[in-house]
Amino acid sequence: MTLFAVLFTSCNQAQKTEISSNEIKITDTYMGTSIIHNYDKKIDSIMDQMTLEEKTGMLHGTSMFTTAGVNRLGVPELKMADGPLGVREEISRDSWAPLGVDNDYATYYPAGAGLSATWNTKLAYVFGNSVGEESRARDKDVLLSPAINIIRTPLGGRTYEYFTEDPFLNKKLAVPFIVGLQDNDVAACVKHYAANNQETHRDYVDVQIDERTLREIYLPAFKAAVTEAKAYSMMGAYNKFRGEYMCENSDMLNDVLREEWGFEGIVISDWAAVHTSVKSLKSGLDIEMGTPKPFNEFFMADPLMDSLKAGKISESEINKHVKRILQLMYTIKSMGNEDRKKGSIDTEAHFKDAYNIASESVVLLKNDKNVLPINLSEVKTIAVIGANATKKNALGGFGAGVKTKREVTPLEGLQNRLPETIKINYAEGYQERYAPKKKAIFGEVTQARAESINELDSEMLEQAIQAAKISDVTIIFAGSNRDFETEASDRPDLKLPFGQEELIDKVLAVNPNTIVVMIAGAPFDINSIKEKSSALVWSWFNGSEGGNALADVLLGTVNPSGKLPWTMPKSIHDSPAHATNSFPGGETVSYDEGLLVGYRWFDTKNIEPLFPFGYGLSYTTFDIKNVHADKKEAYLENETIYISVDVENTGNIDGKEVVQLYTSKKDSNVERASQELKGFEKVLVNAGETVTINIVVPVQELAYYHVDLKKWVVEPGIYNVGIGNSSRNIKANVSINIK
């Protein structure tokens, strides 16, 4: 007999404990709270008293980040802020210039790729909840976050900001993030819906994706954001999709988002992504936001009033959108509700949240001679080389940053953590330099990128070589930064900028005890660095505490447990969008690789990546064994598969391992990638101990999207379940049968 106990905790997280005769199975799921509909009468009475101008004022930006309120009726402005790295600094009401106040400091959280490298859903909740508290402390109603588009190409300008190339990992992180955020009486604005996977021509490119790929790769996280997390708002993307701009794409907004998924919140446009009044509104857009121009000229302002007067749109259509906005405002308690959460900002608790995320995100890529963790008993001097040792990334580049009082750089992290007896020999080595950039046209949302200058300064190179020569250990902090990887432009190739490769080569030649630490949000060509260095670490634009977390990993106080959330290719030509010559397109871009995005392509086509999806080492070793499914008989479509796995820590220090579950189906009637991630679990295992975990896979997760039937179909038959600690290190397989 099976007994269910469902325990609800305050964080909208239902922990389901299923007790069966011989084992205990626990799974965490996160559920959001729906839009509240109890206020219909009040809303109707407010709307009865509103003028048409007051109504349309709520449908468009009347400052850079607010829409109009109706003071006399107790309706406040709707206040928004970016974004994915934390609550953005205050911007002027009518330009992008910072407001220049001193009460807008915030915690800088790790960028999206850093969070996803933790593979830790609880940390996704922590992140959302923490930044939600900060949003409230800054009196925001809507946080323009999370950014969850699929990483289609390593060159994408926002790869650092997005989560991953995999739809399953994407949704598993997006849902708790949104729930955590919205638990604070603030709305998430999930972006960028949809198919905004490149910056090149993002303001007009027409994206063509076949229906199955759309459903299986590009939409799952957006869908889960609605159906599970109950996201209160979505951001309509810049690009076109199948011929229509996303903000006037009725198929995607009215049909898919609202009709199919049951979205009850509001659709807010990306900044200057609206092109029409009547068509946009009728297609499902609720609010138009934008970059500076007189706010009355917005499509949802005077032009909408003109359309109304000309009879091209009815007042009842306008009422529908205003009502949705008011429903959201009641839900987040912004209509003068005393109980609304007040939040907190810039606190030690939040810096600790940022630290916890950062410290689980660092990926150990190579550690051949156990150079890491640095053994301080054998070291008196450490050379620290590279501009990234001191580079700050909270602000910079095109797009949202955070004004913060704390951003611990890698050098500061080491200084904080190393005993005074150890001498640091710092040399910058390379400089971040750019050729003069083509002047951007004001308000442009796609821009020419800055070209890096790649020659080293010979004197600086010499100083770096000398520092390495006289030090016991050398750490090079290389990679990129948020000026180089940036919104509004994609990178032309995978090359490391600023002459770093030459610098790393020359330093490695004089000190074999050299650790290379890459700080970047997206893949780079590190083929030769991988070959020549014996210790290679990957870190991210990693928030206020990034430097401390990194130092703790290098010194062994933290055992690394991050795993790559994307595939690192050997060559850009191996990556699917490039191998199919379908990036960046021109007026149109066709995603010709179809379903085979990321590792799905590499695995199906048998292409060796430089580092595979899901890869990351630890200072200890794990054995993954005794893998078995909870049933021998066939599973039915509505059942759940529990895969039990023993994880043994075979080393002598405690560590966390991410156990990954990939399914595949031979002889399928439909095209499939050779394997797909369908489950994972991060688990702490103490040295010498074994922990048994259950990975939970609802049979529905195995479904494919049947284009003709327009529904998800579970194909019966035998599936292989591969369990491993990266997509290319499957340690055990079990077969399961689906009826």
User: Do 246 and 194 meet the contact criterion of CB atoms below 8 Å apart?
Assistant: yes
Pairwise CA distance, residues 123 & 713, whole Å: 32
Verify binding: residue 83, ligand BGC, rule CB under 6 A: yes
Verify binding: residue 191, ligand BGC, rule CB under 6 A: yes
Verify binding: residue 281, ligand BGC, rule CB under 6 A: no
Q: Please, which residue, 239 or 474, has the CB nearer to ligand BGC?
A: 239
Least CB distance from residue 83 to ligand BGC, whole Å?
5
Verify binding: residue 270, ligand BGC, rule CB under 6 A: yes
Q: Please, which residue, 143 or 564, has the CB nearer to ligand BGC?
A: 143
Least CB distance from residue 182 to ligand BGC, whole Å?
17
In this structure, are strands 676-685 and 622-629 parallel, antiparallel, or unpaired?
unpaired
User: Do 233 and 188 meet the contact criterion of CB atoms below 8 Å apart?
Assistant: yes
Ranges within 373-432 binding ligand BGC (CB under 6 A): 400
Neighbours of 727 (CB within 10 A): 27
User: Do 417 and 459 meet the contact criterion of CB atoms below 8 Å apart?
Assistant: no
Verify binding: residue 111, ligand BGC, rule CB under 6 A: no
Verify binding: residue 485, ligand BGC, rule CB under 6 A: no
Pairwise CA distance, residues 92 & 356, whole Å: 33
**Helix or strand holding residue 191 (H, E):** strand 187-193
How many residues belong to the site for ligand BGC (CB under 6 A)?
Answer: 8
Among 82, 104, 185, 288, binds ligand BGC (CB under 6 A): 82
Neighbours of 439 (CB within 10 A): 8
Q: Please, which residue, 334 or 447, has the CB nearer to ligand BGC?
A: 447
Q: Please, which residue, 162 or 642, has the CB nearer to ligand BGC?
A: 162
User: Which residues fall within 8 angstroms of residue 384, CB to CB, at 6 or more apart?
Assistant: 410, 411, 414, 424, 425, 426, 427, 467, 474, 475, 477
Least CB distance from residue 604 to ligand BGC, whole Å?
32
Q: Please, which residue, 395 or 476, has the CB nearer to ligand BGC?
A: 395
Least CB distance from residue 221 to ligand BGC, whole Å?
16
Ranges within 438-477 binding ligand BGC (CB under 6 A): 445
CA 532 to the chain's CA centroid: 31
Q: Please, which residue, 203 or 623, has the CB nearer to ligand BGC?
A: 203
**Helix or strand holding residue 365 (H, E):** strand 363-367
User: Which residues fall within 8 angstroms of residue 530, CB to CB, at 6 or more apart?
Assistant: 365, 366, 536, 610, 611
Q: Please, which residue, 271 or 541, has the CB nearer to ligand BGC?
A: 271
Q: Please, which residue, 158 or 672, has the CB nearer to ligand BGC?
A: 158
Query: What count of residues does the chain have?
Result: 739
Per DSSP, 252 falls in state I
Residue whose token pair is 């020569």: 469
Neighbours of 294 (CB within 10 A): 9
Q: Please, which residue, 79 or 366, has the CB nearer to ligand BGC?
A: 79
Least CB distance from residue 267 to ligand BGC, whole Å?
14
Enter the tokens of residue 36.
């509240």
Interface characters, 511-550, with ligand BGC (x: CB under 6 A): ----------------------------------------
Pairwise CA distance, residues 350 & 136, whole Å: 13
Least CB distance from residue 147 to ligand BGC, whole Å?
6
CA angle 717, 720, 726 (to 5 degrees): 155
Among 143, 144, 385, 529, binds ligand BGC (CB under 6 A): 144
Enter the tokens of residue 155.
């060159």
Least CB distance from residue 64 to ligand BGC, whole Å?
8
Among 125, 263, 271, 426, binds ligand BGC (CB under 6 A): 271
Verify binding: residue 134, ligand BGC, rule CB under 6 A: no
Instruction: Using CB atoms within 10 Å of the CB of residue 380, give its burial: 0 to 12 exposed, 13 to 18 middle, 19+ buried.
Output: exposed
Rg for the chain, CA atoms, rounded: 26
Least CB distance from residue 271 to ligand BGC, whole Å?
4
Q: With the C-alpha atoms ordered 103, 107, 111, 116, is the resulting torsion angle positive or negative?
A: negative
Indicate which residues carry an active-site annotation.
270
Least CB distance from residue 193 to ligand BGC, whole Å?
11
Helices (H) and strands (E) in the chain, counts: 19, 29
The residues of the shown chain that bind ligand BGC, judged by CB under 6 A, are 82-83, 144, 191, 270-271, 400, 445
